[in-house]
Structure 1
Amino acid sequence: METGTTGTSVKASSLRWKILRQAILRKPNADEQSEIGVKRITRKTRQGFNLIPCHLVDDPSHSSDVTVCYTLPIDSAPKLYLTQRVVDHAELSDFEICNKYNIDNTGLVCQWPSEEVLAYFCLSHADMFRSKRVIELGSGYGLAGLVIAAVTEASEVVISDGNPQVVDYIQHNIDANSKAFGGTRVKSMMLHWNQNEISNISSTFDLIVASDCTFFKEFHNGLAQIVKFLLGKVQPSEAIFFSPKRGDSLDKFLEKIEENDLRFSITENYDAEIWKHHTEFMNGAASWPSYQKDHCYPLLIRISV
């Protein structure tokens, strides 16, 4: 359930139909068409934790894509260049692909705040990835996976998503940053959490990472099952998720984790810098007008066999 500004409750299904109708019918006006900047990235959230500085490196006014340069806040770290979609309205083809592959479209929407938090956490805990095989699930444009590949000396990083459009962007971003990876093997993969056979994955991973992947309850069981499959029985291995509570969505996902005989722990305050930003948003000391802890602040969930 979602609550509107009037305090009345609106069914999620009604909200989805409203969004779909607006996406199909909406025609951007002249002012919107002339707007240039990061805020034009497809329905991009206007706020974030501002942990990794970034800026545009090209003019998106004549293109459906934009390249964003991320300056990693550690010494001698390479800059990362991520191409993202820049249109300010959904395309009907997006919904057709979602229906065809039984996926959601959130990977194309924007670089979500939880992905930035995951990427920053990986920067701050680079040692845990060294010489490990790592896979990112529901990667979107792949920021966290690219950060792991660029700075942690992981042996292999697989950056995956279930949306073929998103995977095309991931592969483009891998190619664009290939010189930053050193000896780390990096590849993209289309991976649907509900697929019955995973023929293109030959072995398990030491670490799984994911951000904000627990919102849609219809995908919970498949996500829990693929985490179990990818972790295998080799110890030590674990999955690191960053997810806001979002009502009872996270709790429902963790129920599926337990049903699949996996263990988990939840940590609220896991990084001093991230917690400082969160506290400032909660107290109004920093600007994020729509900030709500339940919806915006990602908890750290560690999952193991």
Structure 2
Amino acid sequence: MAATPAVADDGREERPTLRLVQAQFMAMVPLRFFRWKLPIEQVQPPTPSQARTLLHHVSLPNCWGVRTSVLDGEDKGKAVFELEDQQELLQMTVHHPLIMRYPTSLSYRQAFLKHIIQQCEDAGQEVCDELYEVYTSLLVSTLEPTSPCCYKTYTLPCGKTVVLREATQIISHGTTGLRTWEAGLCLAEWAVEHSALFEQKTVLELGSGMGLTGLVISSCCSPAHYIYSDCHPNVLANLWENLVLNCKLREEGGGSVNGSKMSVMCLDWASVTQEELQSLAPDVIIASDVVFDNELVEYFVSLLLKAMHPPPGGRSGPVAYVASTIRNQDTYDFYVRKLEEAGICSEDLSLGSTAVFFYDRQQTMKIHKLWISDEIR
């Protein structure tokens, strides 16, 4: 939800390759998935004003026209940069003002620079002294205590950025909710392409985690009211910090604060009542990456049944959009069966056609539209 910070116009146009690398570095894309170049025939050249924008993402459809298939290809290129580009790359990544203030993890910065140096040396390309110096200083920093958290910066199609404080470990404080997962990124991409479904609506998100999907929808889709929910105390505390952080950055960037109302609530799936859910009056319910455990699936389907039941007064019940990464087919089949038993109708939706975020797209993902069947109504 943060606005892109202002940057001085020095008259230079940044190369698309450098901005591609910058966007991935800021979002801490694993180096094994890193894309160091784009096929030139697949890229529409940006205008000068777009090229000077600090954090324009390579996948902005009005700037790049990058299709998902381009990012799925095998040729990821190599991290070989000329001397002038090496210095500029340092300023756009490790020394970027946002990174200096909200840094990616120390180990990630070390691995990133080590990879660039190694690739340049292997190709016989001279490496600038500053690159060596910065890398050495980061190695010395290893002697300092390692933070359990880091920051990831995501660039949105609407030109804004989202900065999230996340855990560096997959499981932290007994929960996986302190990190952003692929299904959340997938759902956020899809929501941007279907923004009319959320415009001026009350949106209830189940299992909001660190808030990425909600911040994207609030920034790009203009909901009237966005309700974030989770039940783990550490997740809720970090979620709240991320919302405050992005509101603060938005104000510093000089843009007006988004008009959407935002709320954060503790929502226990096992104990929440139908009356409590209906009092929120959601028009749309969303969730991502919640289908990975049979017991959790049962709670989730029961919750959906309560939340989507038409409220008194003749108003129709909300629809739900759920994104899932299918890691275990048996668990997913159990989820589908429970939906059918509950009388919840399901429709497979096409995934977003334009890549907004970088993540492993080889995984099997699905987005379902859910609603209550006529028999239940």
Q: In structure 2, how many angstroms separate the alpha carbons of the residues matched to 1:168 and 1:65?
A: 13
The structure-2 alpha-carbon separation of the partners of 1:113 and 1:287, relative to structure 1 and needing over 3 Å to count, comes to closer
What aligned pairs does 1:175-186 form with structure 2 within 5 A after superposition? 175-178=244-247, 179=250, 181-186=257-262
TM-score of the two chains, using structure 1 as the length reference = 0.67
Aligned: 1:250 with 2:332 = yes
Contact 1:242–1:298 (Cα < 8 Å) also in 2: yes
Residue identity in the other structure for 2:307: L
**Per-residue CA distance 1:33-87 (angstroms, 9 max, x = gap):** xxx98669xxx8975999979x77233445332222211023xx3211111123x
**How do 1:116-135 and structure 2 match up within 5 A?**
116-135=185-204
Q: Distance in 2 between matches of 1:52 and 1:210?
A: 24
The verdict on how the C-alpha distance between 1:238 and 1:199 changes in structure 2, with shifts beyond 3 A counting, is closer
Name the structure 2 match of 1:219.
296
CA distance in 1, matches of 2:317, 2:359: 40
Q: Secondary structure at the match of 1:106?
A: coil
RMSD of aligned Cα (Å): 3.4
CA distance in structure 2 between the aligned counterparts of 1:196 and 1:287, rounded to whole angstroms: 34
Q: Which of 142, 155, 161 is matched with 2:224 structurally? A: 155
Cα pair distance change 1:184/1:89, threshold 3 Å: closer
* Residues 1:116 and 1:130: Cα distance change in structure 2 (over 3 Å): same
SS of equivalent to 1:189: strand
- For 2:333 and 2:257, locate their aligned partners in 1 and report how far apart those are by CA, in whole Å: 36
Secondary structure in 1 matching 2:209: coil
Change (3 A) 1:209 1:218: same
Distance change in 2, residues 1:69/1:244 (3 Å): closer
Task: State the distance in 2 between where 1:48 and 1:223 align.
Answer: 35
1:1-305 residue pairs with structure 2 within 5 A?
57=99, 58-59=102-103, 60-61=105-106, 63-74=147-158, 77-86=159-168, 88=169, 90=171, 94-95=173-174, 105-108=175-178, 110-178=179-247, 179=250, 181-197=257-273, 201=277, 202-233=279-310, 234-235=315-316, 237-246=318-327, 247-267=329-349, 269-273=350-354, 296-305=363-372
Cα separation, 1, equivalents of 2:359 and 2:214:
28
Deviations 1:74-110 (A, max 9, x none): 3xx3211111123x4756xx23xxxxxxxxx2212x3
Instruction: Return the letter of the residue paired with 1:230.
Output: A
The normalised TM-score by structure 2 is: 0.55
Alignment length (residue pairs): 236
Deviating above 6 A after TM superposition, structure 1's stretches of 4 or more consecutive aligned residues are 48-53
* Residues in 1 aligned to 2:59 and 2:206: alpha-carbon distance in whole angstroms: 21
Separation of aligned partners in 1, 2:180 and 2:34: 9
Q: Deviations over 1:205-257 (max 9, x none)?
A: 11111111111111112101111222231426210011133312222112222
Higher Cα Rg, which structure: 2
**Higher-strand-fraction structure:** 1
